[in-house]
Copies of this chain bind each other. A is one copy, B any other.
Amino acid sequence: MKIGFIGLGLMGNLMAKNIHKSGFDLTVYNRTSGKTDEFKKLGVKIASSPKELAQRTDVIITMITAAQDVKQILFGKNGVIYGKNKDLVVIDMGTIGPTAAREIAERLEENQIDFIDAPVTGSTPKAKTGELTIFVGGKKEVFEKVKPVLLAMGKNIHYMGGSGLGQAIKMINNQLIAATITALAEGMLLADVLNLNRKLAADVLSTVPALSPMMNLKLSDYVKNEFPLLFSMSNMTKDLKLANYEAKKTKKKLPLAEKNLQLFKKAMKKGLGPRDFSSIIRVID
């Protein structure tokens, strides 16, 4: 299986390297060409356009932040659809939401290209070790075909069903992370208000059933009042927007997720976009 990879950012860079390490025949493309240099040194082939990448490979993986950019890469000038060979499969591993994933799946299908949505969770530490959790939506037989390359990047691979359902569970997962971390931040502010030392509060909270592993991971951020970057405020804001958008599309409301999005937007306005999302505590007062 010849693999093409597009989007060598923080995550994609590490994921592509694991594909290469696993012995797959890898070709990469990146809009910012500087990012391909280290791959050239590793002996990885470089394509000059998504179209060229499609001509040379069997599976194309995209790891790009915005849905609009994924569409440009696939359907724009010199896009993937213009270079497709027989049996091409496209796997999008970014978080673009179920609606965009379903739109892309449909449009690719019109071009006889199979599509899998396969967003990931675990951030850079798990991307580096090839232990990402991957949520998959799309045709089962297409998933089975590309599973070996997913296993080069991830450990826990969950097949969720048809197109967009990988994105669906990712939305839910990130909405939960965002809500629980904002709640933790409010809990720490409540400790301040009540003159309860944050360190002592954190020590006790780390032992109670109310705390998730993710909340436990972030406890020390609030004790030290330092927020090392693991997942950016801007990415989490994007994901919360997607979750609320999907609910609104069917005339549903998620009141807590909506209020949380307001807080995240406030953080963005305050310039916290590139910071870790746990710094949400800075806009609560």
Nearest CB of B to A23, in Å: 28
> Do A200 and B255 form a contact, CB below 8 Å, given A184-B176, A210-B177?
no
Given contacts A168-B196, A172-B187, A176-B187, contact A256 B246 (CB under 8 A): no
Beyond A171-B194, A189-B252, A190-B243, whether A210 also contacts B180 by CB under 8 A is yes
Q: Please give, as numbers and ranges, the residues of chain B lying within 8 Å of A197 by CB-CB distance.
A: 161
Tell me, in angstroms, the Cα distance from A262 to B258 when the chains sit together.
Answer: 14
A42 interface hit (Cβ, 8 Å)? no
| Shortest CB distance A246–B (Å) | 6
Q: Interface-forming stretch among A69-77, A80-88, A211-219, A270-278?
A: A211-219
B residues less than 8 Å from A175 (CB atoms): 183, 186-187, 190
Q: Which chain B positions have C-beta within 8 A of A260?
A: 256
Contact at A213–B204, with CB atoms within 8 Å?
A: no
Question: A180 touching B180 by the CB < 8 A rule?
Answer: yes
Chain A binding site: helix, strand, loop or mixed by DSSP? helix
A190–B244 Cα distance when bound, in Å, is: 9
Contact with B along A175-207 (1 / 0, CB 8 A): 111011011101101110111110011001101
Cβ contact of A180, chosen from B179, B262, B284, B285, cutoff 8 A: B179
> In the bound complex, how far is the Cα of B158 from the Cα of A122, in angstroms?
33
Within 8 Å by CB of A212, from B180, B189, B263, lies B180
A143 interface residue per 8 A CB criterion: no
In the complex, A209 has a CB within 8 A of chain B = yes
Contact of A176 among B158, B211, B256, B263 (CB under 8 A): B211
Is B196's CB under 8 angstroms from A169's CB?
yes
A229-285, CB < 8 A from B? 243, 246-247, 249-250, 252-257, 259-260, 262-263, 284-285
Q: Which of chain B's residues has its CB closest to A167's CB? A: B194
A48 is an interface residue with CB less than 8 A from chain B: no
Using Cβ atoms and an 8 Å threshold, which residues of chain B touch A171?
Answer: 190, 194
Query: Interface size class for chain A?
Result: 35 or more
Which of B160, B165, B200, B259 is within 8 Å of A161, CB to CB? B200
Additional pairs, 11, CB under 8 Å, beyond known A98-B194, A156-B207, A165-B196? A158-B204, A160-B200, A161-B197, A175-B190, A179-B179, A182-B256, A183-B183, A190-B246, A193-B250, A209-B214, A254-B284
Chain A residues close to B by CB (< 8 Å) = 98, 121, 133, 135, 156, 158, 160-161, 164-165, 168-169, 171-173, 175-177, 179-180, 182-184, 186-187, 189-191, 193-197, 200-201, 204-205, 207-215, 217, 243, 246-247, 249-250, 252-257, 259-260, 262-263, 284-285
